[in-house]
Structure 1
Amino acid sequence: MKKRLYVDFHVLQTVPPSCINRDDTGSPKTAMYGGVLRARVSSQAWKHAMREDFAENTPLDVGKRTKKAAELVKEQILALDPEQKKADKMAKDALKHVNITSNDKKGTDALVFISSAQAKALAELAVEGCTNDEKYEEAMIKNPSADMVLFGRMVAQKASLNYDAAAQVAHSISTHAVKNEYDYFTAVDDCQTDSTGAGHLGTVEYNSSTLYRYATVNVLELAEQLGAEQAAETVRAFGEAFLFSMPTGKQNTFANRTLPDAVYVTIREDQPVNLCGAFERAVSRGEQGGYAEASKAALAQYAQQVYASFAEAPAQSFTVGGGLEALAPAQTAKAMLDALEKAVRDALSGNEVE
């Protein structure tokens, strides 16, 4: 049985003037790296966008992170017994068996990450009149959704319900230095008869950048929870969502939805390797301007340097888009995802986690 199996995703993506992830003051998030200011998009923001992509574009079960967990269990109780008059109380009592309390006004004390299968299992126990805490706990542990296994679950009230995340997503940073700018705007009062002055004045802070995005998936962790076949499907769905999703902050203002400039995916049998060191020295604009091509060159050169000096070369590599052919032949995104799913399935074949 393989002891280690990881899939690393490296994405270079250019976004135009935008503010896709804001801090508490409304400014685009930033970070200091390599001694200069970089644009930043938090991992939480991109993971939320990925979960929404799962729900819309894949057949995988997607969990809900909510304070209304009792409502989800109640819906399942009523689906099993439409005439049940005490469904609301039964749902709350079912959650109490796993130390999660809920009230009518604010729901649970904290967000609860729960799959539809788990809500149904709790409902079945409630309808049966079960009072065994261990059975309710088992219902909340079995049948997790794919994104629950990928991103983990933390239940402060009962640590036995926790899942370790099989995926790690880095904060995306620009490959180069950035400087935030301000858009000064006015809004006209359509009913104002006096033509002087505006009805509203304001500013929006923004920046533009070529981002380096990185994520890794522990395939054996996925297989342990979901089985080998679904693990391969989940890796593909994760990759597709990571490539094509985008946080929606200020999207109506900037229409900043773009696709990656280049993608590099590796299957590793030693450890995950984040290649952000390629951009520790901020990339300078290329001879013909722009950062995308220079970023591709820096990524390819750094990856080869790391493999030669420190880490093993990947067991398999895939690239999408031009500029990274030194690492692997380029192909379409669909062909790459098909090949990745097959490679993961083959790697797990005969190596199922016992």
Structure 2
Amino acid sequence: MNIAFSVAIPASSYLRRTTGGITGIARAVILADLEQASRIFIIADGPIAHDWHKSFALRARPLPDVTMVGTADELPAGTALLPGDALPTRGALEALKANPALQFASDDPRLIRRPNDHATVMALLHATLKPTEGPVGRWINRPISFRMSALALRLGLGPDPITWFTLALAMVMAAVLAHGGPEWLALGGFLFQAVSVTDCVDGDIARVSWAMSRRGALLDTACDTVANLGFVIGLMTGVIRTYGQDYAWVALACVVLLVCGIAAMSILVRLGPKRGSFDVLRAALTLRLEGRPILQAVTLTLERIFKRDVYVMIACVFCLAGLSWMLPGLLLGGLLIWLGAVAWCAPLILADAEGQLLPPHMRQI
């Protein structure tokens, strides 16, 4: 049941600052809109930049009704007031929606107060970490990508240039792998891990700066597809050139199965939620196994092995250790399991016209 509430945002000098690509005022407006605030007020004694307009245009959301008032005395009774000395998070707006009279403590974790811009951006980036993030992504990739994202935000770079850079790096990786030879296969495996890290950056920037869009999500998915295909085709070519034609049939089977899987998932998300990433498969598996908690826990734990961050790291380690010849067989088995899961969950994904299987950040675009 939705609760209508009004929220006021003080146009303080702190919230007027641009941090992570948008002002604190814009961030508060966006979050209030996502919490379905019936009215949004901005307390300002002069003109302010309406920099939230870009985010709403990118996400194809109608602009909310924002009312300017001169002082807090002009606010209707019962209006929730955000503090002016901290950046709000989604949790802060949820708390105010439940209790408009709430007064936040200075150390409340639902507000972001940091001593400088870099620390603030890093805190915002950490707040974007997805609950479904794999272990390699959480403990290895993200600590690196967050620093890259913070630098990109400081330089004013948007997500699209990072996506194109990642795509170019993936093409270099495929060419290196296809060259063949233990050293080139090792370098290609390392580049695959590098692609996995840089691929995090465009999403980090989009979520922190609220520059998410369906076009950006589609471009990012296309980049992931090219990277995965490039790795498999490059790896198989390199393994055959290095270890002989005996690997040809396994290589061909892996490429065919991967193409079939990517095509099947692309069609399913296009016909079902009409957008989104392959992450819908995990949500569909969760629904499929409702009522069977032990089997559900085991299946979802195993599913994490098929998360991109994990299998990329495994592939990188095998290549660096000179064991790339083992990867075709492992890939073949993994792809067969993945395709089985896709087929089992296909009816649920096709029926998800409302996009309930999408990750939370994808439901906002």
Same fold by TM-score, threshold 0.5 exceeded? no
TM-score bucket (shorter structure): under 0.3
The structure that is strand-richer by fraction is 1
The structure that is helix-richer by fraction is 2
TM normalised by structure 2 equals: 0.24
TM normalised by structure 1 equals: 0.25
Higher relative contact order (CA 8 A, sep 6+): 1
